[in-house]
Amino acid sequence: MRQRWTFRLYPTPEQEQHLARTFGCVRYVWNWALRLRDDGFRAG
């Protein structure tokens, strides 16, 4: 059985800036790793 939780965050403006910076870094690392995987796949 799977259980799902739903919740909402109400960050302060300072926390919003920190979250935006963190998710920007996460997006960069994800795309970098995806590119490495894709390049390896294409190389055979």
SS (H, E, C) the chain: CCCCCCCCCCCCHHHHHHHHHHHHHHHHHHHHHHHHHHHHHHHC
1-24 pLDDT, tens digit per residue, is: 899 999 999 999 999 999 999 999
- Mean pLDDT, the chain, as a whole number? 96
CA pair distance 44, 13, nearest whole angstrom: 47
Give the distance from CA 21 to its chain's centroid.
11
Whether the full predicted model's pTM is greater than 0.85, yes or no, is: no
When pLDDT is averaged across residues 18-36 and rounded to a whole number, the result is: 97
The answer to whether the beta carbons of residues 43 and 36 sit under 8 Å apart is: no
